[in-house]
Structure 1
């Protein structure tokens, strides 16, 4: 179950007109924090992201699976979306216990640093971005700028200028 603060943050994002992926980002962030605090382990960064997206879908955030997603991922996303529409949630006790045990027994020793540390998340983001075209990334940035307020836009412009100066 997502924390109340995560649900509030996602609801705030929705009110502000932000995209479904931004709303789902709140759930992914929560999951990453859980792993960092040792509540459970994960095999890799992508698993932590997948768990967060699943939570978001089950909470009613309309996040579509990527175009390159496998058939199994698409089916899981459909199940999660259907689960959001149900009024009563009574998961199978044995399945829940098995899933919980698998996450709890996943290696925690290296998890926090190697799978959800800043470098691991940065590498995952870079890898995901490299699969997209420059035009696609630019369009996404342009779309994102419309939901930012003037202060955030100004800060982003300053950062971009600083980055350009460093590159030159």
Structure 2
């Protein structure tokens, strides 16, 4: 009986999507297209085009913790462009801003925004 050579390649076909390319190539193609359109500030694009609620312009940059919490509560209860409850939407927007600012956010401003979280929980009657 003749002996068979073992091959190292798998007999399974490569998974392909709609474009006919393997996933890694599709990802690289999408990344290249994204870099060509907007090299910076994708979070600004998300804020402008997503189904997030409509908020007051520059609310996170100016104002006290109370005014931020009040504005977010008002925006989230009035908005028709939210997916969750008003509390979830307001807290998500606040967390999104804090997370995207990252290390560039001064400590004093970060403390104000953290206090705004507590005020927002109080405004919605949630436990801290």
Q: What's the TM-score once normalised by structure 2's chain length?
A: 0.30
- Asked which structure has the greater CA Rg, the reply is 2
Higher relative contact order (CA 8 A, sep 6+): 1
Q: What's the TM-score once normalised by structure 1's chain length?
A: 0.25
From the two aligned structures, give the one with the greater helix fraction. Answer: 1
